[in-house]
Amino acid sequence: MRSYLPSGLLLIDKPAGITSFGVVRRVRRALGVKKAGHLGTLDPFATGLLPLALGEATKLAQFLLAESKTYLATLKLGVETDTQDLTGRVVATSDNLPEAEDIRRVALTFVGDLEQVPPLYSAVHHEGERLYRLARRGVAVQPAPRRVTVHRLEVRGVALPLATLELTCAKGTYVRTLAHDLGRSLGCGAHLVALTRLAVGPFRLEEALTLEEAENLENREGLPRGFIPLARCLPGLPAVPVDREQARRLGQGRALPCPEHSLADGDKVRVLLGETLVAVAEVRPNGGGRRLAPVRVFACQETSGRQ
């Protein structure tokens, strides 16, 4: 079976109890998609928005993975685990739980640029090996702290020992580590017991299909809810239209003169032939002028010379 869907993003509302790759595998099999991948892992217990890149959209991963993400997270205060979430072994407890106002006050100190030590049970590399593999063998390591950014953090509710937060953060932020660190700052410890991803960049959970709905898509006229065509996958980048000959040159890896005076050196743009994404290009200086240099090009029948 061959998928009727063109290249683009398929937004999935991931259920609990399945890995992100498990979602990719099931959708690939159900829709007959040859090339597919997810854009940002969700742990098996986590739920929410999991964008799947289909076909040529897999080439956009480097841009889409950098998008900020929004989560709804529930913490259990007074209990720490070795994995920093509900799947781990309890390593510390405390009956000294804070007041709701203290939680709100301390949570505000976690907005901005932070240093975060990756959890031992994570896919981060340490001397060429994944941390979780070292942790499972009982090998003691001290991961180097990394700089992460939390753009927004709001306490949505407190029903001790639980507290629910909504946050928007940059790429590379571990929400379970944020829960752990917040618990430490409150003096009681904490771990993550529930996590739902609400948004990835401009894409929202309410747009997504359930996994079952995605598996039961039928060949039809038009595109289903939750599908983002390739040309609309990077709405934050300016669009630059080109003609067929210019599109062919970009497809061959050749730069074009930059037609837009409003663009700055280093800006990235979507290059469109009509409604077809030809390339993501970057504005670069070129002698006394500027050029559009292709960063990623996409298979495009309109420029192949075939009728």
Which CATH number does the domain housing residue 287 bear? 2.30.130.10
Please check whether residue 3 lies inside any domain of the structure.
no
- List the beta bridge partners of residue 26: none
Give the domain range for residue 166.
69-200
Q: Report which residue type is found at 221.
A: E
Which of 177, 212, 232 terminates a domain? The answer is 232
Please check whether residue 99 lies inside any domain of the structure.
yes
Please check whether residue 222 lies inside any domain of the structure.
yes
- Among 20-24, 124-128, 289-293, 295-299, the range scoring the smallest mean pLDDT is 124-128
Asked if residue 73 and residue 191 are part of one domain, the reply reads yes
Alpha carbon distance 262, 224 (integer Å): 36
Nearest to 14 by CA among 177, 214, 230, 233: 214
Are 40 and 200 contacting, i.e. CB atoms less than 8 angstroms apart?
yes
- Among 5-14, 121-130, 150-159, the range scoring the smallest mean pLDDT is 121-130
Tally of domains in the chain? 3
**pTM tops 0.95:** no
Tokens at residue 38, please? 């997810």
- Of the pLDDT bands very low, low, confident and very high (cuts 50, 70, 90), residue 135 is very low
> Which tops the pLDDT comparison, 48 or 142?
48
Asked if residue 243 and residue 184 are part of one domain, the reply reads no
The DSSP output letter for 84 is S
Tens digits of residue pLDDT in 47-79: 999 999 999 999 998 888 889 999 999 999 999
Alpha carbon distance 268, 294 (integer Å): 9
Asked if residue 180 and residue 98 are part of one domain, the reply reads yes
- Among 126-130, 275-279, 288-292, the range scoring the smallest mean pLDDT is 126-130
Highest mean pLDDT among 189-193, 224-228, 247-251: 189-193
Asked if residue 87 and residue 178 are part of one domain, the reply reads yes
267 is catalytic: no
- The number of CA neighbours under 13 Å toward the Cβ of 161 is 18
Please check whether residue 24 lies inside any domain of the structure.
yes
* Residue 145 predicted with pLDDT over 90: no
Alpha carbon distance 2, 177 (integer Å): 41
Looking only at the bridges linking them, the beta strands covering 8-14 and 209-210 are: parallel
Asked if residue 106 and residue 22 are part of one domain, the reply reads no
Asked if residue 62 and residue 100 are part of one domain, the reply reads no
Report the CATH number at residue 114.
Answer: 3.30.2350.10
| pLDDT value of residue 300 | 62
Tens digits of residue pLDDT in 272-282: 999 999 999 99
Listed in sequence order, the DSSP H helices in the chain are 20-31, 61-64, 100-107, 131-136, 175-186, 211-215, 244-251
> Which tops the pLDDT comparison, 33 or 153?
153
Please check whether residue 47 lies inside any domain of the structure.
yes
Query: Between vectors from CA 107 to CA 191 and to CA 188, what angle results, nearest 5°?
Result: 45
Phi-psi region of 35 (alpha: psi -120 to 50; beta: other; left: phi over 0): beta
* Residue 1 predicted with pLDDT over 60: no
Asked if residue 277 and residue 194 are part of one domain, the reply reads no
| pLDDT value of residue 306 | 38
Asked if residue 95 and residue 149 are part of one domain, the reply reads yes
Asked if residue 244 and residue 220 are part of one domain, the reply reads no
| pLDDT value of residue 265 | 87
Rounded mean pLDDT, 228-248: 92
- Among 46-60, 82-96, 101-115, 257-271, the range scoring the smallest mean pLDDT is 257-271
Please check whether residue 1 lies inside any domain of the structure.
no
Dihedral sign (CA 188, 80, 176, 192): negative
Are 195 and 175 contacting, i.e. CB atoms less than 8 angstroms apart?
yes
Alpha carbon distance 13, 197 (integer Å): 9
Tens digits of residue pLDDT in 220-231: 656 788 999 999
- Of the pLDDT bands very low, low, confident and very high (cuts 50, 70, 90), residue 190 is very high
| pLDDT value of residue 162 | 98
Are 293 and 282 contacting, i.e. CB atoms less than 8 angstroms apart?
yes
Which of 182, 216, 232 terminates a domain? The answer is 232
Please check whether residue 253 lies inside any domain of the structure.
yes
Alpha carbon distance 152, 34 (integer Å): 38
Alpha carbon distance 127, 124 (integer Å): 10
Please check whether residue 34 lies inside any domain of the structure.
yes
Which of 178, 200, 222 terminates a domain? The answer is 200
Mapping DSSP to helix (H, G, I), strand (E, B) and coil, where does residue 205 land?
A: helix
Of the candidates 43, 85, 113, 265, the residue annotated as catalytic is 43
| pLDDT value of residue 139 | 53
Asked if residue 192 and residue 143 are part of one domain, the reply reads yes
Helices 100-107, 175-186: inter-axial angle, 10-degree rounding: 120
| pLDDT value of residue 123 | 54
Asked if residue 148 and residue 243 are part of one domain, the reply reads no
* Residue 304 predicted with pLDDT over 50: no
Asked if residue 255 and residue 110 are part of one domain, the reply reads no
Alpha carbon distance 19, 85 (integer Å): 16
